[in-house]
Copies of this chain bind each other. A is one copy, B any other.
Amino acid sequence: MTDNHTSPAALIAVDWGTSSLRAWLLDADGQVLDARRSDQGLMQVANSDFAGTYHALVHDWVRAHGRCPAIACGMIGSQGGWHEVPYIETPAAPASLAERLAVIDTEAGAFHIVPGVMQAPAAGRLADVMRGEETQSLGALALDPTLAASARLITPGTHSKWITVEDGRLGTFATYMTGELYALLTAHSILGRPAQACAETPDPAAFDLGVATARDTGETGGMRALFSARSRWLAGELSAADTTAYLSGLLIGEELRSALGHDDHKIPICLIGDADLCARYQRALGHFDRAPARIIEDAARHGLWRIAEQAGLLAKEQL
């Protein structure tokens, strides 16, 4: 049905998470022909009508370019998503993600979903799961192959993941609920109140003070310092506007304190995600005498492209 002369589209790549959705129309070289972003994350899709939501999003692409294979990552493959795709276990080789794609037949073309990755519990290691970050990780490795030998990938966000890459595979990983804690504490706890009544811009130094405070808690840990976002305001050490910037620093600082541990500074760190958020993590890393080797913003799209290539999706549909 496709015509490669008038229609160079080869793949629709979709990053479909809990609160938002991004889609890219890619040509046979992986170049972006068009892109869109929607707030139709899993939570916003009425009556679980994922098929309808997807068609509404891409119907003009299909009208212009014909049916096209699609590949998606993220919570869309979870129990509450379109179709639950079983996790694959760590250590996860890139090829194993491509081998375990789930496929849904839609009127716009075959819709593939990348499996999530589970870390099975073992001595000294907690069970953990990710959906989406495994694809971002592969995108990072595709963009910078030097990371494949050994790296720590960080995907800051609602649930930050710290993923160890070893010998080209995704190894142990850990989740920090830093973004969700920040949102909850500023919206619903006593810590958020002073800034709510305040229109001033916080001083970036308050963020730095939060990071340094969490870092300096040492093994007692940052939870002990959480209430200081209030007591430092009461003691006159922070302005009302500064309290949430301080809290942000405290939570990110605790994540770094915990995750970096006695890290020997030899394994390169790669930040993956939104530029503003990565900039905050970069700034926070500076308080631990660390700098990211790389910051990658469009890792999901590159990861989806790489997995589609490995799964032979492009070749198949172009015939």
- 8 Å CB contact of A219 from B184, B191, B235, B261: B261
A167 to B222 alpha-carbon distance, docked (Å): 29
Which chain A residues in 161-200 approach chain B with CB under 8 Å?
Answer: 174-177, 180, 184-185, 188-191
Contact A234–B184 (Cβ < 8 Å): no
A227 to B261 alpha-carbon distance, docked (Å): 19
Which chain A residues in 206-244 approach chain B with CB under 8 Å?
Answer: 213, 218-228, 230-232, 234-235, 237
This chain's copy number in the assembly: 2
Q: Specify the main secondary structure of chain A where it touches its partner.
A: helix
Q: How many interface residues does A have (CB within 8 Å)?
A: 44
Contact B225–A126 (Cβ < 8 Å): yes
- 8 Å CB contact of A175 from B120, B127, B227, B254: B227
* Chain B: CB-nearest residue to A251: B223
Q: Chain B CB within 10 Å — which of A221, A225, A231 has the most? A: A221
Which chain A residues in 249-265 approach chain B with CB under 8 Å?
Answer: 254-255, 257-259, 261
Set of chain B residues within 8 Å of A232, measured between Cβ atoms: 121, 126-127
Indicate if A284 sits at the interface (CB-CB under 8 A). Answer: no
Contact A227–B258 (Cβ < 8 Å): no
| Given A177-B227, A232-B121; A258-B220 close (CB under 8 Å) | yes
* Chain B: CB-nearest residue to A184: B184
| Given A224-B258, A225-B126; A234-B177 close (CB under 8 Å) | no
Shortest beta-carbon contacts, A-B, top 8? A221-B221, A219-B219, A127-B235, A175-B227, A126-B228, A127-B231, A220-B258, A184-B184
